[in-house]
Structure formats: structure tokens, C-alpha cells
């Protein structure tokens, strides 16, 4: 299998020459660290067997959070901990997408933008689910941010695992959700949009550093926010009672994702044909 470091050794120099000025420092550091990881550039340690005297040299790891060599074990450990936190109830998978109008704004201000997106998504789900018409209790939410799609195009979106039921305010009663429906999509989209606007202005009242507030909020509160979460899907129950297959949010396709890949490709072809015909179909992110 080709490693990321091998790809960087072949293409990173040309990529940096073309795009380094527009890259965040953390991205450049990640490329440097992955290239140096477990090589002589970081040094290493000599291990000697006390019995036979055999010596083995082990290079140091870079420890960068983006390095697949360093953090595969940590990822698996994190997933294991999340598995133990899952409740013995059905789960729903909710995906909230970011429209094209907002992607450049979020990438330019990742710390504030992504934090607001996560808070708005989780807050909207919890608030709407507390309505007695839907769940009537406090649901459990596990949210994970993905910033790229499978084709490595910038596409920020939040995956949420939501318990199919919630605990009452006094903590004494469990309110189960309906088997195949959790929350109304349009109502959830409105709440996400409203919370996103409010949290963004609260977090950056004067706009982020280096950008006038008038320009920042003009870019982030017009058509983009109006489309935010317009494609969230809440009618996707997980395939197992405890959501084991759904707690694989590390980027690898789950069984449900693989089953839907053919449908997704067909939908992409239909959208491409519609674009050729002059239509402007609404972008959508299928829910695995």
C-alpha cells in the first residue's frame, strides 16, 4: 500500500511551490512532519537484547495529529472508548452539510468557524429533540467534523450519532423515539441556521482578525447560511441496536456506506446531467 509520506516525497515540493502562500501553517507543518516521521531526520533509539546481544534501531515518530503512522493506534483506541459510551438503544445518523458559499469562509477561519458549526449542529439537535412532539427528552449526541469528501474536495460537514430516545428533564423517564424517524429536516435546518448566525456573531462580534466585520458577516449570513443544513438527513437509523457499525467515523466506509455507493454515484451522474442541461441542482451529501 502506498503511504502518504511517499506521495509527499513525490509531489509535495511542486504543491508547496504553487500553494504554500495560501496554506495554513499547520498544513505545512503536517507535510514536514509526515516526511520526517520515522526517518533519520528525527533520530532514534538503539534496542539491545540482553540475552543474545542483537541490536535494533528504531526511528522516532513525528507525533503530528495528521500522521497516519502515529495516530492509527490512537484512532482505534478513541473508537473503542466511544463504543463503550454507546447506550443500548437504536441510533440515528444525522449529517449536516455546509454549502459552497460558506466553505471558503470556514476554511479561512477554521478555529472559529468549525467550532460554531459543531456547536450549532449539536445544540439544534438537542433542542429540537426535547420537543414532546418528537422525542421529549435529552438525547445523546456524538458529533465528528469532516472537512473533505472522498475525492479530497473541501466539503465541511458534521456527522452526528443521535440516540433513538432521550431522558426526561428530571432524569427518571426514558422517552423512546419512533423507529424510523427522529426529527423533521426543515425544522432542524432552521434551528441550525439560526444558531450558526447567533454563535458566529457572539464568537466574533468584530469579525475575525485580519478581516473587517462587515465583509466577514456579509459573506457568512447571506445565501450560504440560508442553505446551511438544508440537506441534513434525519431518517437514517443505524443498522445495529448499539450503533456498532456507525461508530466508524474515521473515514473508512461502513457497510451502510458501501450499500449506498451505487445510489450515490447514480445521483452524481444525474446532477452532472442536470448541470449540463443548464439546471442548478441543490448539492447533497448522502447519509451513509
Q: What single string gives the DSSP state of each residue in 234-267?
A: ---B-SSTT-GGG---SSSPPHHHHHHHHHHHHH
H-helix or E-strand spanning residue 144: strand 141-148
Domain that holds residue 108: 86-276
Q: Could you tell me if 192 and 263 lie in one domain?
A: yes
d(CA 130, CA 121): 14
Q: Could you tell me if 48 and 96 lie in one domain?
A: no
Return the sign of the alpha-carbon dihedral for residues 256, 91, 233, 198. negative
- pLDDT 10s per residue in the chain (288 long)? 788 999 999 999 999 999 988 888 888 999 999 999 999 899 999 899 988 989 888 899 998 988 888 887 788 888 889 888 889 999 998 888 888 878 888 888 888 889 999 999 999 999 999 999 999 999 999 999 998 888 878 888 998 999 999 999 999 999 999 988 888 888 888 898 889 888 888 887 766 555 544 444 444 444 445 555 544 555 556 544 444 444 444 334 343 444 444 555 555 444 433 333 333 333 323 233
Instruction: State residue 215's pLDDT score.
Output: 41
Q: Could you tell me if 121 and 241 lie in one domain?
A: yes
Instruction: State residue 233's pLDDT score.
Output: 52
Q: Is residue 75 part of a domain?
A: no
- Which pairs count as long-range contacts for 175-181, CB under 8 Å and 24+ apart, including other chains? 175/135, 175/136, 175/137, 176/89, 177/90, 177/92, 177/129, 177/134, 177/135, 177/139, 179/90, 179/237, 180/235, 180/237, 181/234, 181/235
Q: Could you tell me if 206 and 244 lie in one domain?
A: yes
Q: Could you tell me if 195 and 265 lie in one domain?
A: yes
Kind of pairing, strands 154-163 and 141-148?
antiparallel
Instruction: State residue 23's pLDDT score.
Output: 86
Q: What angle do CA 102, 104, 110 make, to 5 degrees?
A: 95
Cβ atoms of residues 182 and 194 within 8 Å: no
d(CA 288, CA 280): 24
d(CA 64, CA 194): 36
Q: Could you tell me if 28 and 93 lie in one domain?
A: no
Q: Is residue 66 part of a domain?
A: no
d(CA 284, CA 153): 14
d(CA 66, CA 29): 10
d(CA 8, CA 36): 11
Q: Could you tell me if 52 and 151 lie in one domain?
A: no
Cβ atoms of residues 24 and 110 within 8 Å: yes
Q: Could you tell me if 216 and 139 lie in one domain?
A: yes
Amino acid at each position: 500500500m502506498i503511504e502518504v509520506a511517499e506521495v509527499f516525497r513525490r509531489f509535495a515540493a511542486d504543491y508547496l511551490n504553487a500553494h504554500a502562500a495560501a496554506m495554513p501553517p499547520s498544513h505545512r507543518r503536517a507535510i514536514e512532519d509526515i516526511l520526517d516521521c520515522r526517518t533519520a531526520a528525527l533520530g532514534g533509539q538503539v534496542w539491545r537484547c540482553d540475552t543474545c546481544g542483537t541490536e535494533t534501531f528504531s526511528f522516532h515518530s513525528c507525533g503530528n495529529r495528521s500522521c497516519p503512522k502515529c495516530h492509527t493506534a490512537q484512532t482505534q483506541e478513541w473508537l473503542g472508548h466511544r463504543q463503550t459510551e454507546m447506550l443500548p438503544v437504536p441510533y440515528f445518523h444525522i449529517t449536516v452539510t455546509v454549502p459552497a458559499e460558506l466553505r471558503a469562509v470556514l476554511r479561512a477561519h477554521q478555529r472559529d468557524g468549525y467550532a460554531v458549526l459543531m456547536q450549532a449542529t449539536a445544540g439544534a439537535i438537542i433542542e429540537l429533540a426535547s420537543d414532546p412532539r418528537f422525542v421529549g427528552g435529552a438525547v445523546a449526541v456524538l458529533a465528528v467534523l469532516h472537512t473533505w469528501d472522498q475525492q479530497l474536495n473541501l466539503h465541511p460537514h458534521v456527522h452526528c450519532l443521535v440516540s433513538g430516545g432521550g431522558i426526561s428533564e428530571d432524569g427518571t423517564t426514558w422517552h423512546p423515539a419512533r423507529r424510523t424517524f427522529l426529527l423533521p429536516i426543515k425544522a432542524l435546518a432552521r434551528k441550525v441556521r439560526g444558531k450558526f448566525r447567533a454563535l458566529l456573531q457572539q464568537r466574533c462580534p468584530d469579525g475575525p482578525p485580519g478581516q473587517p466585520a462587515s465583509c466577514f458577516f456579509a459573506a457568512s449570513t447571506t445565501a450560504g447560511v440560508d442553505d446551511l443544513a438544508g440537506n441534513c438527513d434525519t431518517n437514517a437509523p443505524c443498522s445495529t441496536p448499539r450503533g456498532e457499525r456507525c461508530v466508524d467515523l474515521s473515514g473508512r466506509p461502513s457497510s451502510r456506506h458501501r450499500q449506498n455507493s451505487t445510489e450515490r454515484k447514480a445521483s452524481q451522474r444525474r446532477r452532472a446531467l442536470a448541470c449540463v442541461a443548464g439546471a442548478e441542482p441543490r448539492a447533497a451529501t448522502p447519509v451513509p
